[in-house]
Structure 1
């Protein structure tokens, strides 16, 4: 969707051109008809047949009959022709008209034995497009190979066998030059040859408007999403009266985001370079937007109470030196990845609320749907006080919140960066009536627009807005064309996934108690209706932790001190502090051991010095602790003596010192039973803590792998990502070792204290190759039918809430989301067809809208022809999509929908 824009030298005022827009528009529309040949029916060359053919590549093309068009183009076989079908011009090829290219001979010679090229199925790529041609190879006595015949005709074959495609030398030379300057890929260049251009005002029937271009309303020249609910265009008239269980289908999904690559330097000004569009397409009206920002520039930015989002907390500190715009904010269709009307605006200093508020409410003012699903990576913070901030905006942007159901969500990929509460409250996966929408649509659109950032950065404000509007329009139109295959593919996949996840839910429920399922269903449905209810996805009973145990022991000691029964042998170190400090020293020994092992043989002096400092510090701590240990466990001196090396040269490294905690000395020593009991409590809590750490680290590692697989490209980035994953792996292994030490201590203490075997059901032996795997989380991309849950996710403290209850809740929402996705896709298919049919009828209504006596016949025919051509294009798209969505893919149309 190209807007024709005259580029002037920098500093030149473009305003004198603006009044001439209607003139340019009328003359372009006039070319849609037969022009001066409207009354001249016979061909001017043969005076025999009707004039129906014109060439768009010939200068000042005239109308002629088909035979004369073929004769005139024998030396120009790659020109593009159009045929008047009685209503408008449609494309037709020279091959269809009978022209055949003869290779292997001079143009004035005749081949005695022509060989037709593969049933006429031959394609030539040229600078003006892609052409199907009739092609004859020479097969007479002077015959050369087909490849040579093509090369002699300045045609470069795509292959040397099975010849079906060739490119002219001219197009290859053009791409070669383009490659040096723009670095465009061959595929992108090919697509550019395959696409046709449309002028903005002409394409949106502004030339058909009797009141002229000046009456163009905001957003009127934007390509609308056919698959989104558009009241009055593609959904039933009684959509507002839909029952509650169907009302969610008429929801508008929008995604909000900012792009800081689309900067603009301080170049020119709005007075010198105002641009042609005044909020007609995707950018908001600049004057009103800047006026609002100036009026509220002193408003303080609210600080984030979630994770430390730079988009919020650093909005006022982002460097904007030398920039008129630090980027753009946008509001997109979150399901079909299209820009919404009047939903784009410049950012001045970070991603501030005043910018994004204006763009959101501007976009929403064009649609009257009552159900909104709003996706934003900082939705948890931005949604707070949104209604009160709306009141500062112009009244035309105000929404009636009382009549709308608005759900705020965080895109799926961004969600793990939020705190746990936000990951539940703002999750697409856990929210009803959103299908499989992920909210990441704006991110995909940036990949298309970012390559133009370097050129628009140097433009004046009007030129930049018009250029970006062009690209956004082109992107939207491409998305419209792709909807046919996209929705067909997504529906087939959704139907399969729905069946699979429903089967998994049934299998899971067959292993559970019906009473439990009934209770869980009541809880989760209550939470879905009101998030202030108990959250079924959140662990409610925390296992006993070391911190909790230490606090309880400290309180016991305080009570003993108060009653005079405390038997501590050291003024500062009680028995519980001694044992807990010893366990902490074990952890520090493990950390030091890993640090030394990571040094390698080529460690730097700085690394060696740092490790030595840590070694010295730990040695002093252990020696101090051992002195106090002798007060409570004097027999340990004999154990230490038995393990002392024979010579100083073979001294034990500090990270390998045996601390001789009660669990290590055995039952035959004089160790007080109180010390064994204290260590039992602390080791039990340590094992709980370590299992929790392992589960968290496994989830982190799983997230890192998925992030690297989906988003990391390039050797340097992959190296950094793998380094981060390696660190996570090291932490998992260290936690596993800590758990194994704690479990071994519990086993020794259980024999001494005669503990029953129930602890072994909680703390099972750890198989590192089988058990160290993440719980299959809700962000997984596929279902694994052979998945087995590791026991670390089934400990009593966890299984009661997270494994059985939460896993059932997750299985339920997965099945529900796929069922909703199937329903949404079926509706969207019919909305697309209904929209195209409506738009075809709308173009039909434009044919004679500007009918007046002041119009000459040539312009009047151009207006009618262009409207007919656009209406025909929509009808053809509708027919094509219906074929793609033919039964059983195509669903029954909803009640009240006319197609």
Structure 2
């Protein structure tokens, strides 16, 4: 740009010159470039070059290009004119130099809309004896003009302008009105041209043209039965990579061994979109391709829904998602359609035929059941993977609800293996009961499927939602069918590069996770691994068996566990005659000191949040809190003198840490626990006090980590819900307030952990606890990879270069999620932790591995398998 800016003036001069005669201004007399005649001269803006011609020559030159824009030199500047003004006309129905002996013309010139504007053309129609060609509409179509009406058309649209709109709207989602007005301004940008009424004709023609393009591309023009003989879904562009017997499967695919059946499975994603609404305007019309492409047949669908008027809305599980929140949102009462439910291929993001239907009141089961069973009708695949964000509830009574449908639409559960899952991103907001049972990461045969592909489809269609909500029902359905088909076409044409990129990404990831699993197997006893493999296999077949992936927090050894353990030891000491110097034991003394540290931190945070100039009431509250804390510290000092005799002599000295200011405020007063003293000063402590604090600090750090993880998990779920469902200032403010509350709790957990770790550095420098309790930086305090902006730099880099969803098998979570749990070295608890880590490592390796000898080794059998 800097280089170009040096030549701006010369560019501007050339532009101005083109508006005048340019190099022709040097000529003594303007003459026609063809016949050298004088007189009025014209130029064409669409032809190459800047030559000028007389009227007769200009008409002769445009005998086969009648839709060019002509300008006339009026002595001062070039003014707009037209070929019609020059006496130009065309004859339809004959080719080349063949002159029709029997022609007729309309009283007024025909308006022809082309990519460069709106033209008036005098047209002569052939009236020869051949009645099939004497029709005006047929002659226009053969000239690649689409007539606006069937009989005596006065307006026509070129195929080129129709193709231009289809490409623009499927890519940029431009609406017909804005496209048409751009043609009006291209013709006359002064606003004086009154051609807006032809916009309605364009809407009708676009609908007709798009419908016939789908019929043409699906081969209906070569079928004797024509369009009326089209079967449901034949207009749809199907996924070439999904299993289709007789097309892309081996002859004996049905006899594949059990551990390879997943290769021939069908993976579908189900969801609803509440942005594709339709206003209630009282207009009733039918789509041209009803049930022939992606939407289910309207008549059958409406009859089915009429039987479920009083069906109660679904409830959600113990998750933060609510599938029917949008059913009762403000503005839905005036909508004839509140959204669209649909199904697509979960692996290749290609929309399924007859798999979309309008929603009238949220995601009712009757709506979603119909679209799912419609697209699965006639499916021969023996293995079905179905993902849905509320699958934990939707699948429960599906067999019972399916009995109400015709037999040809019911799934044969005696022959099919049906696996239910929740999309990976949505699974994070579900409760603990769903985390393993519906997790794609643990489903044999799922590979790297994430189940979120339907969200990509919605993102590609949302841009047209503001246009379709204003349409008639039939026009809206035809438009959405067209956009869904365009999406499929572009996905199919790019499928080769897409699958190649996935393979290039999968090979190194497969090797990495193979190595991780092999190293883990080498460090464990073969008998233990054998037991765990049996446990995983049993759980894969029956989720009622013990869950190998369950990471129960009850197995963690926290502060409460250490307190109980120490209390038991002190009771044993008392029984042996080793009485404590006070009825408050050493563990109680130390635990109370920890509580005082917490109270000091809370008070410091409250003071920092107060205003620089607090009111009298705020000052009184602060003084009251300080007095209460000072009293608790003073009471606790009496115990400290018993367990740390001689501390009072050195407390008046330099016991404050370096950089700590002198103050009389209780929130900054050093408590002088053993960890707050130097090695020499610890001599004032009774025997074993420092060791007990060390053990309690380990429990405190464990407790803090567990609380931190829990708070981050809850916050992440709230964030997802807020982004997805919360609208309006009042609701958003409440949500932000709730999130701020969790932020404060997360900060307290982090500070408590840092205090425990700092104490351990003094009590046991270089201890084994360093492998578990790492330095907690602010960047480490994040959820387990739920959002790209929350990932560490390495994970973001890999996500930017890898296609598809960044899931558990790819992300590098913060160390607080990777650290082993619980904090024990041997025994049953350690075995539990290693079993969970091994099971997850095995699942990750299998999801990346395509070798059937190493991976996906599960026996598929018929039936419903989710819980």
Change (3 A) 1:605 1:470: farther
Q: What is residue 273 of structure 2 aligned with on the other side?
A: 259
My pick for the range that moved more, 292-301 or 357-366, is: 292-301
Distance 2:513 2:608 in 1: 46
Query: How do residues 861-876 of structure 1 correspond to structure 2 at under 5 angstroms?
Result: none
Does structure 2 retain, via aligned residues, the 8 Å contact 1:743–1:763? no
Q: What is residue 218 of structure 1 aligned with on the other side?
A: 232
Distance 1:597 1:569 in 2: 38
Distance 1:671 1:796 in 2: 30
Q: Deviations over 1:791-844 (max 9, x none)?
A: 982576378468755444444333322333999xxxxxxxxxxxxxxxxxxxxx
Q: What is residue 256 of structure 2 aligned with on the other side?
A: 242
Q: What is the Cα deviation at residue 405 of structure 1?
A: 0.9
Distance 1:312 1:203 in 2: 38
Distance 2:355 2:95 in 1: 47
Q: What is residue 463 of structure 2 aligned with on the other side?
A: 451
My pick for the range that moved more, 197-206 or 371-380, is: 197-206
Q: What is residue 814 of structure 1 aligned with on the other side?
A: 844
State which of 797, 819, 824 in structure 1 corresponds to 2:823: 797
1:392 and 2:399 aligned = no
The CA RMSD over aligned residues, in Å, is 5.8
Q: What is the Cα deviation at residue 371 of structure 1?
A: 1.0
State which of 509, 530, 544 in structure 2 corresponds to 1:532: 544
Does structure 1 retain, via aligned residues, the 8 Å contact 2:514–2:845? yes
Q: What is the Cα deviation at residue 574 of structure 1?
A: 9.1
Q: Deviations over 1:445-466 (max 9, x none)?
A: 1222111111111122222112
Does structure 2 retain, via aligned residues, the 8 Å contact 1:498–1:819? yes
Does structure 2 retain, via aligned residues, the 8 Å contact 1:304–1:313? no
Q: What is the Cα deviation at residue 578 of structure 1?
A: 6.4
Does structure 2 retain, via aligned residues, the 8 Å contact 1:54–1:62? no
1:327 and 2:334 aligned = no
Q: What is the Cα deviation at residue 56 of structure 1?
A: 13
Change (3 A) 1:491 1:354: same
Q: Deviations over 1:112-163 (max 9, x none)?
A: xxxxxxxxxxxxxx96889xxxxxxxxxxxxxxxxxxxxxxxxxxxxxxxxx
Q: What is the Cα deviation at residue 499 of structure 1?
A: 4.0
1:683 and 2:690 aligned = no
Q: What is the Cα deviation at residue 328 of structure 1?
A: 0.8
Q: What is residue 104 of structure 2 aligned with on the other side?
A: none
Q: What is residue 590 of structure 1 aligned with on the other side?
A: 601
Q: What is the Cα deviation at residue 548 of structure 1?
A: 4.1
Q: What is the Cα deviation at residue 502 of structure 1?
A: 3.4
Change (3 A) 1:527 1:228: same
Q: What is the Cα deviation at residue 280 of structure 1?
A: 2.3
Does structure 2 retain, via aligned residues, the 8 Å contact 1:315–1:352? no
Q: What is the Cα deviation at residue 200 of structure 1?
A: 3.4
Does structure 1 retain, via aligned residues, the 8 Å contact 2:429–2:720? no
Q: What is the Cα deviation at residue 252 of structure 1?
A: 0.9
Q: What is the Cα deviation at residue 220 of structure 1?
A: 3.3
Residue aligned with 1:267, SS: coil
Does structure 1 retain, via aligned residues, the 8 Å contact 2:337–2:358? yes
Distance 1:390 1:610 in 2: 66
Q: Deviations over 1:873-894 (max 9, x none)?
A: xxxxxxxxxxxxxxxxxxxxxx
Q: Deviations over 1:757-790 (max 9, x none)?
A: 9775676673759988998999965699999996
Q: What is the Cα deviation at residue 375 of structure 1?
A: 1.3
Q: What is residue 633 of structure 2 aligned with on the other side?
A: 626
Does structure 1 retain, via aligned residues, the 8 Å contact 2:556–2:821? no
Distance 2:92 2:502 in 1: 45
Q: What is residue 315 of structure 2 aligned with on the other side?
A: 303
Q: What is the Cα deviation at residue 616 of structure 1?
A: 4.7
Q: What is the Cα deviation at residue 358 of structure 1?
A: 2.1
Q: What is the Cα deviation at residue 436 of structure 1?
A: 1.8
Query: How do residues 406-425 of structure 1 correspond to structure 2 at under 5 angstroms?
Result: 406-425=418-437
Q: Deviations over 1:679-733 (max 9, x none)?
A: 666433212112334566788999999999xxxxxxxxxxxx9999999999777
Q: Which runs of 5+ in 2 are unaligned?
A: 1-63, 69-88, 100-114, 117-159, 165-181, 191-205, 656-660, 723-734, 803-808, 854-867
Q: What is the Cα deviation at residue 495 of structure 1?
A: 3.8
1:370 and 2:382 aligned = yes
Distance 2:227 2:780 in 1: 69
TM-score, length basis structure 1? 0.58
Change (3 A) 1:409 1:786: closer
Q: What is the Cα deviation at residue 331 of structure 1?
A: 0.9
My pick for the range that moved more, 231-240 or 431-440, is: 231-240
State which of 682, 692, 706 in structure 1 corresponds to 2:706: 692
Residue aligned with 1:494, SS: helix
Distance 1:273 1:786 in 2: 50
Change (3 A) 1:259 1:659: same
Does structure 2 retain, via aligned residues, the 8 Å contact 1:410–1:426? yes
Distance 1:494 1:458 in 2: 45
Residue aligned with 2:369, SS: helix
Does structure 2 retain, via aligned residues, the 8 Å contact 1:276–1:462? yes
Does structure 1 retain, via aligned residues, the 8 Å contact 2:626–2:665? no
Query: How do residues 663-812 of structure 1 correspond to structure 2 at under 5 angstroms?
Result: 682-693=696-707, 735-745=749-759, 760=769, 766=775, 768=777, 793-794=819-820, 797=823, 800=830, 805-812=835-842
1:348 and 2:325 aligned = no
Does structure 1 retain, via aligned residues, the 8 Å contact 2:447–2:849? yes
1:546 and 2:562 aligned = no
Aligned length: 643
1:486 and 2:520 aligned = no
Distance 1:400 1:520 in 2: 33
Does structure 1 retain, via aligned residues, the 8 Å contact 2:559–2:699? yes
Does structure 1 retain, via aligned residues, the 8 Å contact 2:785–2:811? no
Distance 1:628 1:612 in 2: 25
Change (3 A) 1:662 1:511: closer
Distance 1:291 1:407 in 2: 30
Q: What is the Cα deviation at residue 674 of structure 1?
A: 9.9
Distance 1:201 1:493 in 2: 38
Q: Which runs of 5+ in 1 are unaligned?
A: 1-52, 69-77, 80-125, 131-168, 178-191, 709-720, 752-756, 824-899
1:229 and 2:243 aligned = yes
Change (3 A) 1:548 1:505: closer
Does structure 1 retain, via aligned residues, the 8 Å contact 2:785–2:813? no
Distance 1:773 1:455 in 2: 40
